[in-house]
Amino acid sequence: MRNLNEDTITQAVLARHAGMSNERLREVMTRLVQHLHAFAREVKLTEAEWAAGIQFLTETGHMCSDKRQEFILLSDTLGLSMLVTAQNNSKPEGCTESTVFGPFHVEGSPEHQLGDDIANGAKGEPCFVSGRVRGIDGKPVPHARMEVWQADEDGFYDVQYAGQDEHRARATLHSDADGRYHFRTIVANPYPIPHDGPVGRMLEALGRHPWRPAHLHFMIQAEGYERLITHVFRNGDRYLDSDAVFGVRSTLIADWVRHDAGIAPDGSRVDTPFYTLDYDFVLNPIEGRAAA
């Protein structure tokens, strides 16, 4: 087809997809082309703006590495990650809500026993975390696989430190036969997402801050239940209502309770003030497969 113009180009592109055998791919690409073209028409996109957009995406790709995923940061800060999470994780009332995965999960995090200090030298005030994993029917979920990870008091995850091969403030544990879990770590603090790249420049141009409220990441999996990816947020944090990635849910906010130096929940003596966090997770059963 020749001599296409701004009024005919969209249908010409869609016509080229006629031979596509993957119906889902056809649906996604059709809508993508339609919405992209509609956007360009609506804002009357200039060639200079189009070129700047291409350059921005190129720089975003160049910023990605095995230590950093700038495209996830872009998706997170545009609210797309949370939108996709919300529309794919509808749960019955009473189940723990899902939130964004984030860019700092690591496959194969170190296995720890319940009660271990998973901080492993990460900087921060001591914190003892405990709770229970159960189904929406109230029954305990035994031996649930729990991956947990967090930033240190300086706002960095272990993978952000150059030359640091040992994992810190990151672990894989399993709930006990009664669904209970407990471990020692460090207090969660607010931190800015990496903002020294194109996403940071975008936020600055938009008049937005890069901060996330203090939180712990959890990914929990158990036979017969849907996988849960979530955070637990620290109550009272100044960024709860302006999270840079739009991930806060009221049901995921909990109290970090401060204690004077003394005997900790695990029976050890702590010579500095420490904190405790107690939080229960409620998993959604896979239809017809809930644990007996």
pLDDT tier for residue 125 given thresholds of 50, 70 and 90: very high
Strand partners, 276: 128, 257
**Residue 208's pLDDT is what?**
98
Mean pLDDT of 143-157: 97
* Mean pLDDT calculated for residue range 198-215: 98
**291 near 141, Cβ under 8 Å?**
yes
Q: Which residues of 230-251 are buried (b: 16+ CB within 10 A; e: fewer)?
A: bbbbbeebebbeebbbbbbeee
Hey, what's the torsion of the CAs at 19, 21, 27, 33, to 10 degrees?
A: -40
HSE-up (13 A, CA, CB side) for residue 147: 15
In the chain, the DSSP E strands lie at: 126-135, 145-149, 170-174, 180-186, 191-192, 211-212, 215-221, 228-234, 253-254, 257-259, 262-263, 269-270, 274-278, 281-283
Q: How confident is the model at residue 165 (pLDDT cuts 50, 70, 90)?
A: confident
Query: What pLDDT shows up at residue 288?
Result: 47
Question: Coil, strand or helix: which one is 148?
Answer: strand
Task: State how beta strands 281-283 and 145-149 pair.
Answer: unpaired
> Is it the case that residue 290 has pLDDT exceeding 60?
no
Predicted confidence (pLDDT) per residue in 18-32, tens digit = 889 999 999 999 999
The answer to whether the beta carbons of residues 110 and 101 sit under 8 Å apart is: no
Question: What CATH class does 71-283 carry?
Answer: mainly beta
Q: For a pLDDT cut of 90, what percent of the chain falls above it?
A: 92
Distance of alpha carbon 80 from alpha carbon 245, whole angstroms? 9
Q: Is 199 left (phi over 0), alpha (psi -120 to 50) or beta?
A: alpha
**Scanning the structure block, which residue is given the tokens 């003394």?**
262
The torsion angles phi and psi of 227, rounded to 5 degrees, stand at -65, 140
The Cα 89–Cα 220 span in angstroms is 14
pLDDT value for 18:
87
User: Alpha-carbon distance 260 to 134, whole Å?
Assistant: 31
- Collapse the DSSP code of 280 into the 3-class scheme (helix H, G, I; strand E, B; otherwise coil) and give the result: coil
Distance in angstroms (rounded) separating the CA atoms of residues 264 and 259? 9
Q: What is the structure's pLDDT at 273?
A: 97
Share above pLDDT 70 across residues of the chain, in percent, rounded to a whole number: 98
pLDDT at residue 287 tops 80: no
Could you tell me the residue ranges of all domains in the chain? 9-45, 71-283
Instruction: Count other C-beta atoms under 10 Å from residue 2's C-beta.
Output: 4
CA angle 167, 173, 179 (to 5 degrees): 160
Q: What average pLDDT does range 206-223 have in this prediction?
A: 98
Alpha carbons 189 and 264: distance in angstroms, whole number:
21
